[in-house]
Structure 1
Amino acid sequence: MKLTDTTRKFILHWGEMGTRWGINRSVAQIHALLYVSPVPLHADEIATTLDIARSNVSGSLRELQGWGLARVTHLLGDRRDHFETTKDVWAMVGIILDGRKRRELDPSVKLLRECVQELDEQKADEAYTEDRLNELLGLVELASAWAERAQKLSPESLRRLLKLGDKIFKLVE
């Protein structure tokens, strides 16, 4: 695939943003390439286009598949696996929200609940710590509940919710 300057700029930026979100640069760049590609791409084509090692592409594609952000497809007359990602930006946001909730919010809720339970059982003189953890637990549980509800929305409903949220910000400000 031949990249234009604009496409190259986008892919490089998406890779940089990925590192800020804790995602490997190559994984994010491959996702960006699949997102802007009008056709599914095979691993060798991805490696050549992005000038990265084939082994790196394979591992990155597995990670993207684990997130639900890449899927295998086949083309008539070609035995190789080709890869594509959703082109619906709102569906993509839903997939990412789900993944981040499972990897970040759920373990945090579990740990905070355990810590609060331990403090409660110990009857230790740690009221201040317990208050802090309870407050944090409330915030993380609320974020987790919102993420769960957002996951259940259709992409169109998610878009409407975010637009409505923007109106609410303007009203509150």
Structure 2
Amino acid sequence: MPAAVQRATRPSALPAADPAPQLSSLEREVIAHFVELSRVLGQPRSYAEIYGLLFISPRPLAMDDLMSRLRISKGSASQGLKFLRELGAVRPVERDDDRRTHYEAVAELRRLAGRFLRDQLGPQLTGGEARLDRLVRETARLVDGERSHAAARVTMLRSWNQNVRRVLPLVVKLLGS
């Protein structure tokens, strides 16, 4: 079981008077699934825990509920919800019986994937041009025997970067975000 899920469900982490219900085995497994996905995507574990719990929850949850159920700090919860809102992965829900803002997961994979690619990968590719320019300068400083191999690899990287930048808008458009 991933450490984040263990942290969120470990009995020793629960204060004696804490009224927050423990996570069910289903909730733990869904959270673990999203934690594994987030690891592949290089995103913080807490973001995946928040999304996983909201995804499987039959009702919207307030930030306080997320903090107590997942055993995460207010800062982690706030930062995670902000990121997930900007990504379009969660949306706020107002309830008549509670003044707190509640959140629910948006379960539209195409839109989420498109926004993730646009918002996370796009800026990396743009910033990559400056890095590639630095690599060209560094390659020029190498001795002749090393320079040709390194220059060929840098040219290959630039080509890959250009191809991804050319295709990314089409992929995002196909995904509908």
TM-score by length of 1: 0.71
Deviation at 1:154, TM superposition (A): 4.3
Deviation at 1:53, TM superposition (A): 2.7
Choose the corresponding residue for 2:153, options 132, 135, 157. Answer: 132
Distance in 2, matches of 1:154 and 1:92, equals 9
1:93: which partner in 2? 113
Deviant stretches of 4+, over 6 Å: 119-122
Equivalent residue runs for 1:14-163 within 5 Å: 14-113=34-133, 115-116=135-136, 118=137, 126-155=147-176
Cα deviation 1:76-117 (Å, max 9, x = unaligned): 24321222332112222212222331343332234214544x
Distance in 1, matches of 2:122 and 2:91, equals 20
Deviation at 1:119, TM superposition (A): 7.1
Distance in 1, matches of 2:128 and 2:27, equals 37
Rate the CA distance shift 1:2–1:39 in 2: closer, same or farther, 3 A: farther
Choose the corresponding residue for 1:7, options 12, 16, 27. Answer: 27
The amino acid across from 1:143 in the alignment is V
Deviation at 1:44, TM superposition (A): 0.9
Distance in 1, matches of 2:96 and 2:150, equals 62
**Percent identity among equivalent residues?**
25
CA RMSD of aligned residues (A): 3.0
**Gaps (5+ residues) in structure 2?**
1-20
Distance in 1, matches of 2:153 and 2:140, equals 17
Distance in 2, matches of 1:82 and 1:103, equals 30
- Secondary structure of the residue that 1:153 maps to in structure 2? helix
Rate the CA distance shift 1:119–1:50 in 2: closer, same or farther, 3 A: closer
Determine if contact 2:89/2:107 at 8 Å carries over to the other structure.
no
Distance in 2, matches of 1:35 and 1:144, equals 31
